[in-house]
Amino acid sequence: MQALYAQLLVGLINGSFYALLSLGLAVIFGMLNIINFAHGALYMMGAFVAYFLLNLGGINYWWALLLAPIIVGIFGMILERTMLQWLTGLDHLYGLLLTFGIALIVQGVFQNYFGSSGLPYAIPDQLKGGMNLGFMFLPIYRGWVVVFSLVVCLATWYLIEKTQLGAYLRAATENPTLVRAFGINVPRMITLTYGLGVGLAALAGVLSAPINQVRPLMGADLIIVVFAVVVIGGMGSIMGSIITGFALGVIEGLTKYFYPEASNTVVFVLMVLVLLVKPTGLTGRAA
Partner 1 sequence: MTTLTDDTLPTTPRAMRDEMTVFVVMALLLAAVPFTGVYPFFVMQALCFALLACAFNLLIGYGGLLSFGHAMFLGTAGYCSAHALKVWGLPPELGILVGVAAAFALSIVTGYISIRRQGIYFSMITLALSQLLYFIYLQAPFTHGEDGIQGIPQGHMFGVLDLSKPTVLYYVVLAGFLAGFLLIFRIINSPFGEVLKSIRENEQRAISLGYRTDHYKFLAFVLSGTLAGFAGSLKVFVAQNASLTDVHWTMSGEVVLMTLVGGLGTIFGPVVGAFVIIAMQQYLASFGQWVTVIQGSIFVICVLTFRRGVIGEIAHYFRRSL
Nearest alpha-carbon partner for 205 in 110, 78, 270, 99: 110
Of 142 and 215, nearer to partner 1 (C-beta) is: 215
Q: How far is CA 140 from CA 57, 97, 144, 176, in A?
A: 26, 40, 6, 44
Which residue type does 27 have?
A: V
Q: Is 279 a residue that touches partner 1 (CB under 8 A)?
A: yes
- Between CA 148 and CA 125 the distance in angstroms is 17
Distance CA(151)–CA(159), nearest Å, equals: 12
Beta strands in 192-234 (DSSP E): none
CB closer to partner 1, 25 vs 65: 25
* Site for partner 1 contains 174 (CB under 8 A): no
**CB-nearer residue toward partner 1: 82 or 132:** 82
Site for partner 1 in 64-103 (CB under 8 A): 83, 86-87, 89-94, 96-98, 100-103
By CB under 8 A, tell whether 230 contacts partner 1: yes
Q: Tell me, what DSSP letter sits at residue 138?
A: E
Single out the segment in contact with partner 1 by CB under 8 A; choices: 67-75, 168-176, 245-253, 261-269: 261-269
Q: Which is nearer to partner 1, 102 or 242 (CB)?
A: 102
Our finding on whether 131 is near partner 1 (CB under 8 A) is no
| Residue closer to partner 1 (CB basis): 145 or 266 | 266
Q: What are phi and psi of 259, to 5 degrees?
A: -150, 75
Q: What does each C-alpha distance from 169 to 31, 88, 116, 129, 137 come to in angstroms?
A: 8, 17, 39, 42, 43
* Chain contacts with partner 1 (rule: CB under 8 A): 29, 35, 83, 86-87, 89-94, 96-98, 100-109, 111-112, 221, 224-225, 227-228, 230-231, 261, 264-265, 268-269, 271-272, 275-276, 279-280, 287
